[in-house]
Amino acid sequence: MNTGWAPAGPSPVPADSRPALLMVDDRASSFTRYAARALPEDLVLLRFAEFRGDLCEDYLSETAHLPAFWVREGVPLAEEARRYREWAAELPAAPTRFCNPSEPRQHVAQRFAALAGLPHLGEHQVAWVRDKAAMKRRFRELGLRTAAFDRVRSAADVERFAAEHGWPLVLKPVDSFACVDTHLLRGRDAVRDIDLAARDFMVEQYLGGTEWEVCGLIHDGEVLSAWPSAMPFRPLAIVDGAMNANISVGTDEGPAVDLPALLQRIVTGMGIDHGYAHMEFFVVDGQVYAGEIGIRPAGCEIPANHGHAYGFDVFAATLDVYLGRRPRLDYRERRCAGDLLLPLPGSGTVRRVTSADELLRLPGVVDAVVRAGVGDTVTARRASHNASGHVHVVGESIGQVEQRMRAILDAFTIEVAPVREPDPVSG
Q: How many degrees, rounded to 5, is the angle at CA 220 between CA 214 and CA 223?
A: 20
What's the pLDDT at 194? 87
Give the other-Cβ count within 10 Å of 332's Cβ. Answer: 7
- Confidence (pTM): 0.91
What's the pLDDT at 5? 45
What's the pLDDT at 148? 97
Query: Could you read off the pLDDT of 153-206 as tens digits, one per residue?
Result: 999 999 999 999 999 999 999 998 767 788 899 998 888 888 888 899 999 999
What's the pLDDT at 369? 94
What's the pLDDT at 422? 55
Q: Which residues of the chain have pLDDT under 50?
A: 1-6, 426-427
Contact predicate 32/101, CB 8 Å: yes
How far is Cα 214 from Cα 316, in angstroms, rounded to an integer?
19
What's the pLDDT at 237? 84
Query: Could you read off the pLDDT of 356-376 as tens digits, one per residue?
Result: 999 999 999 999 999 888 998
What's the pLDDT at 345? 87
What's the pLDDT at 204? 96
What's the pLDDT at 231? 94
What's the pLDDT at 4? 44
Set out the domains of the chain in order of their start, with CATH numbers: 15-120 (3.40.50.20), 148-205 (3.30.1490.20), 210-417 (3.30.470.20)
In the chain, the amino acid numbered 36 is A
